């Protein structure tokens, strides 16, 4: 459970790939987005997203996720 305290998690219940559901979490300390399996909470992937990830949003079909960074005003 220590893993959860280090991350700010944003639950995106409709984020899907091939009918699978995922949880997207943003790590401000590691500067990464963490993709977790919705059912098992296992880490699927860690994706670098910039200096200060702040918000994540997905496309309507769940095929793309965008992360806003407060430092530099860019997106990943």
Residue 65 has pLDDT above 60, yes or no: yes
Calculate mean pLDDT across residues 1-5.
41
- pTM for the predicted model, two decimal places: 0.67
Report if residue 35 sits inside a domain: yes
Report if residue 74 sits inside a domain: no
Establish how many alpha carbons lie within 13 A of residue 31's alpha carbon, considering only the half-sphere containing its beta carbon.
10
What's the CA gap between 12 and 42, in Å, rounded?
16
pLDDT > 90 fraction of the chain, expressed in percent and rounded: 22
The confidence band for 1, taking pLDDT boundaries of 50, 70 and 90, is very low
Report which of residues 25 and 62 the model is more confident about.
25
Q: Phi and psi for 5 in degrees, rounded to 5?
A: -75, -25
Report if residue 75 sits inside a domain: no
Report which of residues 26 and 7 the model is more confident about.
26
Q: How many domains does the chain have?
A: 1
Report if residue 9 sits inside a domain: yes
Mean pLDDT of the chain: 75
Domain span including residue 46:
2-69
Say if residues 27 and 53 touch (Cβ distance below 8 Å). yes
Q: How many residues does the chain have?
A: 76
């Amino acid at each position: 459970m220590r893993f959860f305290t280090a991350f700010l998690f944003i639950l995106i219940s409709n984020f899907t790939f091939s009918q699978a559901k995922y949880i997207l979490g943003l790590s401000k300390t590691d500067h990464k987005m963490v993709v977790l399996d919705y059912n098992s909470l296992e880490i699927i992937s860690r994706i670098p997203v910039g200096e200060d990830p702040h918000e994540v949003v997905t496309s309507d079909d769940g095929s793309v996720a965008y992360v806003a960074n407060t430092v530099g005003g860019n997106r990943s």
